[in-house]
Structure 1
Amino acid sequence: MNIGKEYLKTVTQRFVEAKVTAEKAIEQLTDSELFWSPNEDSNSIAIIIKHMSGNMVSRWTDFLTTDGEKPYRNRDDEFAGDLTTKEQVMERWKLGWETFFTALNNLKEEHLLQTITIRNERHSVIEAIERQMYHYSYHIGQIIYIAKYLKSSDWQTLTIPRKK
């Protein structure tokens, strides 16, 4: 078995599953629910998506050759609520994931131990992938939790229903 190829295949599948699961939660929401937050210090799903996309574009553009924190990235702006429609939010979601999957799908086994930088910190490509797995899963969990809270008894489960 080719361990590097198997790793890339497996991790790609997990990212796809995480993305699809989040999309199933997002599909259940109205436009206003997408922009809801419990208070001014908390993020709406729209803000979480905007942040994730900003991170993906910064980290995965020219992934192997430039620092993952691009000079053009304004992280603080990712937390500003300037998106106003579900279409805008989903365009941002699509851009982030397309950027990410393009880079991930272009990786080869020989890249996995190569050193890249994120915020001037050195990481192997494997470390960078795992760092993003943690980060994206963290935010997808937030998206699902907020969506489930908002939908309450109208929530359509994303996995195996209880008692089944």
Structure 2
Amino acid sequence: MDIAMELIDSMLVKFKSEGKWTLQAIAQLSEEDITWSPNAESNSIANLVAHIHGCVHSRIETIFFDIPDTRDRDQEFERGLQMSKEEAYDRIKKAFDTIIQYLEHLRSKPELVMSQPFLNRPPLTYSQVNNETTVLNLMIAMVREVHYHTGQIIYAAKVRKGQLEWQYD
């Protein structure tokens, strides 16, 4: 197996697992837990879900579905952001489904891993990558970004609920 396929397969395993645990955590919470924040400077689960969804939109949906970037990053971090438990669950599920769908697309076309999909697009906003980035660099950045914020979601869920119940399959 070549290195591109190994990386894609590793990322697929990572994102499928991360999505599973995040969805299980959110499913165990109350409506109030979704918008709770430990203090005025901390993000709620609603903020973190909105942010992950925004990252997926601006970094993956724009290239995979060829749609304009309509992300409002500042809104993702508004204090008191309202989001129902169902909306949080659906938005994080959609984000992970999109990431997995894109990785499966890359699996069928591994030559795209070194492509530069943003070269002929408007300048990227709110991104740790620039228009010259490769798909590989973009996806590595997504692994870091998503893992960091799903860890925060699971930690906040544990703070609110205490012991979480996990389903292993």
Change (3 A) 1:122 1:111: same
For 1:83 and 1:101, locate their aligned partners in 2 and report how far apart those are by CA, in whole Å.
27
Which residue in 2 is equivalent to 1:37?
37
CA-atom RMSD in angstroms: 2.5
Unaligned runs of 5+ in 1: none
Deviation at 1:151, TM superposition (A): 1.8
Q: TM-score, normalised by structure 1?
A: 0.82
Task: Determine the structure 2 residue equivalent to 1:55.
Answer: 55
TM-score (ref. length: structure 2): 0.79
Deviations 1:66-91 (A, max 9, x none): 79xx5421111112344342112222
**Among candidates 118, 129, 136, match of residue 126 of structure 1:** 136
Q: Which whole-Å CA distance do the structure 2 matches of 1:116 and 1:148 have between them?
A: 38
- Superposed CA deviations along residues 31-61 of structure 1, whole A, max 9, x for unmatched, are 1112110122211111110111111112111
Deviation of 1:142 after TM superposition, in Å, equals 0.4
Displacement of 1:157 after TM fit? Answer: 5.6
Question: Are positions 1:89 and 2:97 aligned together?
Answer: no
* 1:62 Cα deviation from its structure 2 partner: 3.6
Instruction: String of CA shifts for 1:98-119, please: whole Å, max 9, x gaps.
Output: 3322222211210111123454
Unaligned runs of 5+ in 2: 119-123
SS in 1 for 2:41: coil
What is the number of equivalent residue pairs in this alignment? 156
TM-fit CA distance, 1:65: 9.1
User: Is the 1:113–1:124 Cα contact (8 Å) retained in structure 2?
Assistant: yes
> Equivalent of 1:78, from 60, 76, 79?
76
Aligned counterparts of 2:131 and 2:138: Cα–Cα separation in 1: 10
1:126 CA drift (Å): 1.0
Q: Is the 8 A contact 1:37 1:44 kept in 2?
A: yes
Which AA in structure 2 matches 1:116? P
Structure 2 letter corresponding to 1:105:
E
- Runs of 4+ with deviation above 4 angstroms: 64-67, 157-160
Q: Percent sequence identity over matched residues? A: 31
Distance 2:64 2:31 in 1: 37
Separation in 2 of the partners of 1:9 and 1:43?
A: 31
The alpha carbon displacement at 1:158 in A equals 4.7
The separation in 1 between residues aligned to 2:36 and 2:69, in whole angstroms, is: 30
Contact kept in structure 1, 2:115 and 2:134, CA below 8 Å: yes
1:149-164 maps to which residues of 2 (within 5 A)?
A: 149-152=159-162, 155-156=163-164, 158=166
